[in-house]
Structure 1
Amino acid sequence: MIYSDETSADELEAIHEQRRGVDLEMAAMAAVGDRMAELKHAGVCPHGSAQGFREDLGDPELRPGQLRCTDTCRRIFNSDDDWYAAMDAALRD
């Protein structure tokens, strides 16, 4: 939508700026994915996915609030924050 004080050039610039933002976001996500693949190839678990406690799964090692890494290591984390911290650490190292 073009307002009376705008031109089609203003609208086109806004569209291009949005596309640049999306391109930057996609590049950042692709870089994280590449880093996770790199870690897995090197034998390091990037903790890319986890399963929280569910009573119906019957996992005797998990308690409410805990999560198990389902990526490769099967490590148990005591909270979402612990899992995110481990994922961040793996990506940084």
Structure 2
Amino acid sequence: MIAFGEKLKHLRTKKHLTQKQLGLLLGFSESCADIRIAQYESGKRTPKAETMKKLAKELEVPIEILTTPILSEPAEYSAISFWREELSSVM
């Protein structure tokens, strides 16, 4: 599965923003703006709901782009197909 940090880094670099620039746009102080974004991108920290909304706004994407899991491995596709079939018969 593609991790939140990978998605964040991709979208940030696509907009040609440094970690510090994005952190400042989110309202973090000059002294910790880049550190906070680096922590999000490395998976050491998870943004709170309000910060997630700000990230989506600044990156110009729907919040679901950041929050919805994205499959990347063949086994994940196999598992989702299995559960989709299983759960559709129950509903």
TM-score bracket relative to the smaller structure: under 0.3
> Which structure has more strand as a fraction of its residues?
1
Q: With structure 1 as the length reference, what TM-score do the two structures score?
A: 0.27
Structure index of larger Rg: 1
**Larger RCO: Structure 1 or Structure 2 (Cα < 8 Å, ≥ 6 residues apart)?**
2
> Which structure has more helix as a fraction of its residues?
2
Q: With structure 2 as the length reference, what TM-score do the two structures score?
A: 0.28
